Amino acid sequence: MSLPDDPLKALLLPFDDGTLAWPAQGRVAFLRARDGWPLRRHATARLRCEQGFKPLADGLRQAGLDTRVELGETADAALVLVLPPRQRDEARALLAHAVAMAAPGARVVAAVANDEGAKSRERDLRDLAGLEGIATKFHCRVFWTPPLAGTHDTALAARWRQADAPRPILGGRFHSRPGVFAWDRIDPASALLAAHLPADLAGRGADLGAGWGYLADEVLARAPGVRALDLYEAEARALELARANLAPRAAQAALGFHWHDATAGLPESGYDFIVSNPPFHGHDRGDRPELGRRFIEVAAQALRPGGRLLLVANRHLPYEATLARAFASVRGLAEGGGFKAIEAATSGAARGGAR
């Protein structure tokens, strides 16, 4: 059962109660769009959705909505709706993007949950383009600009965009940007798994939930027998970073980059090995241990007989029963910092130390 989407309800509230009028003509842009029943109260034929997270993008497309990873920035939208993310720099850049898309006389309307930085984002939009109205309901704040006429703070918008741009991290070894998981550091769970990757990994592998590419890069650095590696990542922002970060490895192995929701199953199978640091939060930041369990099941289905899964997870997450059902053998590789690294093998080739 899906949980109520309170920010989406709040976003549409000014149109539901008659405070604002839904445009009778012209394009309506929806940034960080999500599908849900509040949209059904309004005409969606002219709605153009921007969403880079594959499960949400798939839901929008299944609902028949025009959905793209990125919308162009021509200032022709009669209305721009925004659900800003939690991360400040990413959210500010998204607000600048929204204002730039607004046609003369159009408004930008945004909604944020109170515990996700609502007051800060309200202040940001006021600083950028001014506010005409604010409402609070559903533990959220919805706020909107007056009709815009190109009078927003362009210098501030430029600064916010620059703060969201990809930049070198970790001494220049990688590039990353705000908003992706562990964007400016090596996630300690991935570091634990990387430190215990078997050097005899070889053949064709995959990384489920590859993020900006750290774990995949470590696989190629530590296992020279790997000849091909597919990266599956649901967040388009992260995948593009991974593509850039692994470009120097292109001569070492055949690399594939797939914008894909791993919980839906993989389009390829017969992998010799799979590595993964699966997510355990949903897009709403709620705990979702079923995501990790599904990653385990999908990995088992995609591995060849005797193939190996190298997995890392928070130590408290209850994955052992799923691993025992899906794999012929399971063994712990390491624990530390509240995390556990595990190796599991499908039937067909037992591994030393398996239990």
Predicted confidence at residue 281, as pLDDT, reads: 57
Tell me the pLDDT band of 237, cut-offs 50, 70 and 90: very high
Q: Is residue 338 part of a domain?
A: yes
Instruction: Give the span between the Cα atoms of 193 and 89, in whole angstroms.
Output: 29
What average pLDDT does the segment 190-200 reach?
Answer: 96
Q: Give the Å distances, CA to CA, from 268 to 140, 258, 327.
A: 41, 11, 19
- pLDDT of 126-137, one tens digit each? 999 999 999 999
Same domain, 315 and 220: yes
Q: Is residue 355 part of a domain?
A: no
Q: Is residue 352 part of a domain?
A: no
Q: Is residue 251 part of a domain?
A: yes
Look at residues 163, 190, 223 and tell me which one is the last residue of a structural domain.
Answer: 163
Same domain, 158 and 175: no
- pLDDT of 252-290, one tens digit each? 999 999 999 999 999 999 999 999 999 875 555 556 778
Same domain, 61 and 136: yes
Instruction: Establish how many alpha carbons lie within 13 A of residue 265's alpha carbon, considering only the half-sphere containing its beta carbon.
Output: 4
Same domain, 114 and 254: no
- pLDDT of 101-110, one tens digit each? 999 999 999 9
Q: Is residue 288 part of a domain?
A: yes
Same domain, 17 and 150: yes
Stretch among 53-62, 112-121, 280-289, 302-311 having the lowest mean pLDDT? 280-289
Predicted confidence at residue 160, as pLDDT, reads: 98
**For residues 219 and 195, is the Cβ–Cβ distance under 8 A?**
no
325: CB partners within 8 A, 6+ apart = none
CATH code for position 58: 3.40.50.150
Tell me: pLDDT of 352 over 70: no
Reference 112, options 6, 235, 2; nearest CA is 6
Q: Is residue 83 part of a domain?
A: yes
The domain in which residue 26 lies consists of 6-163
Q: What is the number of other CB atoms lying within 10 angstroms of the CB of residue 19? A: 13
Please name every residue paired with 141 in a beta bridge, in sequence order, or none if there are none.
112, 136
Predicted confidence at residue 139, as pLDDT, reads: 97
| Average pLDDT of every residue of the chain | 93
Q: What is the number of other CB atoms lying within 10 angstroms of the CB of residue 119? A: 11
214: CB partners within 8 A, 6+ apart = 174, 186, 187, 190, 194, 245
Instruction: Give the span between the Cα atoms of 51 and 338, in whole angstroms.
Output: 33
What average pLDDT does the segment 7-12 reach?
Answer: 97
- pLDDT of 286-330, one tens digit each? 567 789 999 999 999 999 999 999 999 998 888 999 999 999 999
Same domain, 221 and 293: yes
Same domain, 103 and 147: yes
User: Any idea what the Cα angle at residue 260 is, between residues 341 and 339, rounded to 5°?
Assistant: 15
Q: Is residue 1 part of a domain?
A: no
Tell me: pLDDT of 350 over 50: no
Instruction: Give the span between the Cα atoms of 210 and 34, in whole angstroms.
Output: 23
Tell me: pLDDT of 228 over 90: yes
Stretch among 29-33, 35-39, 128-132, 238-242 having the lowest mean pLDDT? 35-39
Same domain, 154 and 286: no
3-state helix, strand, coil in the chain (%, to 5): 35, 30, 35
Number of domains in the chain: 2
Predicted confidence at residue 317, as pLDDT, reads: 86
Same domain, 140 and 17: yes
Q: Is residue 351 part of a domain?
A: no
Q: For residue 225, with 0-12 CB atoms within 10 Å meaning exposed, 13-18 middle and 19 or more buried, which class applies?
A: exposed
**For residues 207 and 215, is the Cβ–Cβ distance under 8 A?**
yes
User: Would the pTM count as exceeding 0.95?
Assistant: no
Tell me the pLDDT band of 166, cut-offs 50, 70 and 90: very high
Is residue 23 helix, strand or coil? coil
Strand 225-233 and strand 202-208: the pairing is parallel
Same domain, 127 and 177: no
Predicted confidence at residue 232, as pLDDT, reads: 98
Reference 116, options 149, 148, 83; nearest CA is 83
Same domain, 220 and 317: yes
Predicted confidence at residue 287, as pLDDT, reads: 60
Look at residues 120, 136, 163 and tell me which one is the last residue of a structural domain.
Answer: 163
Same domain, 178 and 151: no
Q: What b/e readout covers 103-112, taking b as 16+ CB neighbours within 10 angstroms?
A: beebbbbbbb
Strand 339-345 and strand 329-336: the pairing is antiparallel
